[in-house]
Amino acid sequence: MRVSELLRQEQTKLLPLPKMAFDPAKLTEHEADHYATVAFDGNRYSVPVKLAGETLAVKGYARTVKIYYQGEEVAVQERIYQKGKTSYQLPHYLNLLELRPRAVWNAKPVKAANLPDCFSRFAKTSADPDRVMVRLLRLVVDEGLARVFEALEQTLAIGSNSVQVVEYYLNQEKPRLHLNISGPCVKPPDLGRYDLLIGGERS
């Protein structure tokens, strides 16, 4: 029997490919604790604080852990292979810190961020250290650590302890937004018609 005939016979026995791609993940469900962390494979991973107490679906991949609430992805973190560790993401706790700025100095997510010492030194020289530190954290989340660190160094270099100066240096590096606003199209008037008013229009 020819190979082509054997292939045709085999094709009649083959099953169709699945409609959905295979998801190589370990799937579990856990309730987030009051610290807004969820357990997976012997470790804990943070989620937004508003989800504390909620049941979440956790997908563990080789390199990442993805967490879902009611089908929506709410957190993606690098997978930890040591046991008994907790991975915090600062953005998950920032809204709470903005409401309770006095907690900023002892908050585990802030300590886990490993910010340079100049951040806390800068904040503690201001009139309102708690709120200034939280404001710096917000800038780090929104603008990135490297940019905020550079702006902070520039502020310290001129002897200032104002967070507004840090924001000034950050905004200096942003490209200016040029708005292309086109107004209504107005047809130029025929000024020759005014001559008719002056000289009178003849029939």
Residue 65 belongs to some domain of the structure: yes
Instruction: With beta carbons less than 8 A apart as the criterion, state whether 55 and 30 touch.
Output: yes
- Per residue in 49-81, is it b (16+ CB within 10 Å) or e — as a string? bebbeeebbbbbeeeebbbbbeeeebbebebbe
3-state secondary structure of 114: coil
Query: What is the Cα–Cα distance from 150 to 169, expressed in whole angstroms?
Result: 9
Residues 31 and 98 in one domain: no
What does the pLDDT read at residue 125? 93
Distances in Å between the Cα of 66 and the Cα atoms of 49, 50, 93 are: 16, 17, 18
Range of the structural domain that residue 51 is part of: 26-87
Quick: pLDDT tens for 178-196. Answer: 556 666 777 777 766 666 6
Query: What is the Cα–Cα distance from 38 to 29, expressed in whole angstroms?
Result: 9
Spell out the long-range contacts of 143-146 with Cβ–Cβ below 8 A and sequence spacing 24 or more. Answer: 143/170, 145/115
Residues 104 and 166 in one domain: yes
Residue 8 belongs to some domain of the structure: no
What does the pLDDT read at residue 190? 73
3-state secondary structure of 184: coil
- pTM here is 0.73
H or E stretch covering 44? strand 43-46
Residue 182 belongs to some domain of the structure: no
What does the pLDDT read at residue 178? 59
Q: How many independent structural domains does the chain possess? A: 2
Residue 4 belongs to some domain of the structure: no
Residue 197 belongs to some domain of the structure: no
Residues 128 and 143 in one domain: yes
Quick: pLDDT tens for 138-177. Answer: 999 999 999 999 999 999 999 999 999 999 999 986 666 5
Query: What is the Cα–Cα distance from 122 to 75, expressed in whole angstroms?
Result: 31
Angle between helices 163-172 and 129-143 (to 10 degrees): 20
3-state secondary structure of 182: coil
What does the pLDDT read at residue 111? 95
Residue 177 belongs to some domain of the structure: no
Instruction: With beta carbons less than 8 A apart as the criterion, state whether 60 and 24 touch.
Output: no
